[in-house]
Structure 1
Amino acid sequence: MFTCKLSNTHADFCALTQALDAELNARYGKEQSLYDKHNVIDPIETALVGYEDGLPVVCGCFKKIDDITVEIKRMFVLPVYRRRGFSSQILGELEAWAVACGFSHAQLETGKAQPEAIALYTKIGYEVIPNYAPYVGMENSVCMHKALRS
């Protein structure tokens, strides 16, 4: 797999996140509408798309939270490409990019109906933390944090 740094407005990133949104709607049903507004990100230049045989198969991005923290967003691998290490690779590249930009911490939110995501993040060193805004009080949210290596 090779990755490209892109804007989150790039067509390949948008196509993958549309597939992500469809999967989240299938997993969470109408409850997903509570989360959709938090998945809209202003245009940013910190998105990655991974390609296999020229096809976009994995994506993720990060956005600045404060001077030391980024939030990992929109992580997704097309179902037929899962269990090949692509999510670990793209997450590692996002973390390295964040460190290169001067950040030392990453946080993220995932859902209780995504045990494979929780397992991945735990394996890579993320720890569950109390839900941060805007996820405070949202029962299906699982918020996680990791100190990044510099």
Structure 2
Amino acid sequence: MSLTVRLAGPADLPAALAMDEVAARDAHRHDWLTRAFAGEKGRVARLALLDGEPAGFAVMGEFFSNPFLDLIVTAPAARRRGVAAALLTEIERVHAGQKLFVSTNVSNTIMQGLLSCRGYLPSGQVDNLDPGDPELFFVRPPAL
């Protein structure tokens, strides 16, 4: 099994849209991804390839002048194969020495577990973004 991560751009958008179950049914998400993969507002997208095939992607943005993982998605067929961990490893490498923020829903216990194993610390909660599913924020201190 070969797993690589590279920068992504507008040409990779169709692969990202095919992986993202939310973008298939949510026009706002589809439009946001289109803009993110074009680099709008300084966003940077990365694509994970599993044996040469698109298997996941991540979009980085900014949160109070700190790097923020806006979104990380693993293709359904590639889940539990290290795709999200590989994307996160590359993002952590690029942002070494900086506070790195990420958020996830209370319902996303898999992501919470990944963040906990990697030393991320709880940083707060925002209610009312997704009804009945608060958003939890985490930070990776620069010393890690």
TM-score by length of 2: 0.73
Residue equivalent to 2:60? 62
Structure with the higher strand share, 1 or 2: 2
| Alignment equivalent of 2:81, drawn from 76, 84, 87 | 84
Superposition RMSD in Å: 3.1
Rate the CA distance shift 1:113–1:88 in 2: closer, same or farther, 3 A: same
| Alignment equivalent of 1:104, drawn from 68, 84, 98 | 98
2:6 matches 1:4: yes
| Whole-angstrom CA distance in 2 between matches of 1:148 and 1:18 | 34
| Whole-angstrom CA distance in 2 between matches of 1:14 and 1:130 | 34
| Whole-angstrom CA distance in 2 between matches of 1:17 and 1:124 | 28
- Does the 8 Å contact 1:13/1:59 carry over to 2? no
* Structure 1 residue 107, shift from structure 2 partner: 0.8
Residue equivalent to 2:110? 116
Residue equivalent to 1:93? 90
* Structure 1 residue 55, shift from structure 2 partner: 1.2
| Alignment equivalent of 1:75, drawn from 72, 77, 86 | 72
| Alignment equivalent of 1:50, drawn from 43, 48, 51 | 48
Query: Equivalent pairs: percent with the same residue?
Result: 14
Structure 2 unaligned segments of length 5 or more: list them.
none
Residue deviations 1:7-60 (CA, integer Å, cap 9, x gap):
3xx2424532563352897xxxxxx99x95xx6646246221011232110111
- Does the 8 Å contact 1:95/1:148 carry over to 2? no
- Does the 8 Å contact 1:61/1:94 carry over to 2? no
Partner of 2:95, secondary structure, is helix
